[in-house]
Structure 1
Amino acid sequence: MTVQLDDVTVHFGRTCALESCTLTVAAGETVALLGPSGSGKSTALKAVAGFVRPSSGRIRLDGQDVTELPPAKRGIGVVVQQYALFPHLRVEDNVAFGLRAARRPKGEVTRRVAEMLGLVGMTSYARRFPRELSGGQQQRVAIARALAIRPKVLLLDEPLAALDAQLRADLLIELQNLRREVPTLAIIYVTHDQSEALALADRIAVMRDARLIDLAPTTTLYQTPPSAFTASFLGNANLLPIKSSNNEVTVAGHVIPGVQPISGKELLCIRPHAVRLGAGGVPGRVTGVQWRGASYQLTCEVADVLVRVDLAADGAVPAVGADVQLVLPSEACSLVSR
């Protein structure tokens, strides 16, 4: 099922929570809405679900206008951060809730509950209550409940935000498996975590100040971000002011070979892992060293700008105060607007 937001705007009183958002998500596609708190991403998801009514614009599912349709009539599965399981119902009854509300035959309910619990690896927990489950297990049950009604669209609103690091990693794998198990499912995934977006999404929509500002396939957006905000928010890129002359790009007076000037692009973007230390690079001075287990991250000052550099933990690491030269490979560089 195709999901369309057509110039959707949402106001809460005088506050604009979402402004002129236009987005299409195809069947079988996962689109991540990525942005900081207050950027409008959850409001966009709630508009699709029917939980909030647009002030203007239309919501369409497979071309059908559902803007005025109540949530229960849209056939959409929704999973939120707080799990929202019924505490007085056992796991199997939570998963069956939507099916029973739709008055599906008892045999179908039993079959679908067993199928969904098996899909998320929770079959042996069917008779437990939510209070007897871990946070990760509760979230799996919430996903099973959302999928039990056979939705063609699944909306996930910060589903891993309340979990610890290991549980987040485990559920990311579960969600990747889910995409393979249900290949026609259209998924909108709201998150402020770039690693989740990179792991799951076919495309990423970057949101800021209630607007969708950048939208592209995940690899494209990561490798060649169109704006400074997207470059820094997605991948924590280094952004260095440049000067252009004689068809060359310079950083701190040093020519970056292989990088051509682009009109309107005033910053050079490069990820910390792509920067190398070596002769012939941009001169800088180490101002900080952080050990991160498998790697070190250096902070280097280059012409009043701080540049992050990732180094392998098994190599030589310069000390704070050391003068270094930063090699910026042209294949890892892109130019972005401010």
Structure 2
Amino acid sequence: MSYTGPDFDPPKPRRSRRTPLLVALAALVSGGLLGWAVYAAMGAPGDGGTTAGAPAAPSGSTSASARDDGKKATPSASGPAAASPSPSGSPDAASGPLKGRVVVIDPGHNPGNFEHTAAINRPVDIGTNSKECDTTGTSTNSGYAEARFTLDVAHRLRDLLQQQGATVKLTQDGDRPYGPCVDERARIGNTAHADAVVSIHADGAAAGNRGFHVILPASVHAGAADTRPIVGPSRELGERIAGSFVRVTGSAPSNYIGDGTGLVTRRDLGGLNLSTVPKVFIECGNMRDSKDAALLTSGAWRQKAAQGISEGIVSFLRG
């Protein structure tokens, strides 16, 4: 974000007689003020994003599961709001290195899920078995909801990828009352014939558990699910995102899952089981740990998270 400061108009020279010294001094002052006006108009660098109070949500308990498509929790208070949706990429983006590539970003959960619990609790087929349509997600102890975090990072990631020339689609943009369900999220990526899909989340594990992890699809062949063709490319996508995430954010891989690799393979997530294109999930940190929460609620850190994910996707797509 750039900041526009006060505008200054260079003082108009008087028509009275001046000594050479006074004329030179006036010119120096005018030049200095003009330089400040140019600097102010260009703007000083920001922190990569702002945080503000989000609409308050009903209070409730926050039991969380790190083993689910979505962590069940109810936001209890206001927290930093998601960044506003960004405009489409600039005309020059169409000629970027990712021209012709399609990326689908899946912001986990939906800010409105907690108001539609009956709808999101209905079971859907995920290939291996049935599972809830979606869940509310978790939140920090101060009430910053995972659904708002995921939308904020998704908007930042979309901007970065569009600048590289990619066509970017979101599975939801806070523009529907709830969901979509996990099976529909998979279909959106499949229908778009995406070259890569990334589902963005933040975990809700116990305090003291820190770090990020990337979830990869296991080889599943059951019912409507057949991940065998995407296991290999999805692993490559996940490995590249994990490497970039460490480098850009400085965050360490999870200390509680993945054996320090930052990579976890699962067969119980409908969003992965039903995908026919390369797809991974990333849990960017643990919202229930105070140190991780301090990062997740920082606009500057969320920009780094988006940059790390973006660089991993670009690396994967460029080979």
User: Does TM, normalized by the shorter one, top 0.5?
Assistant: no
Q: TM-score, normalised by structure 2?
A: 0.27
Q: TM-score, normalised by structure 1?
A: 0.26
With a CA cutoff of 8 Å and minimum separation of 6, indicate the structure with the bigger relative contact order.
2
Q: Which has the higher strand share?
A: 1
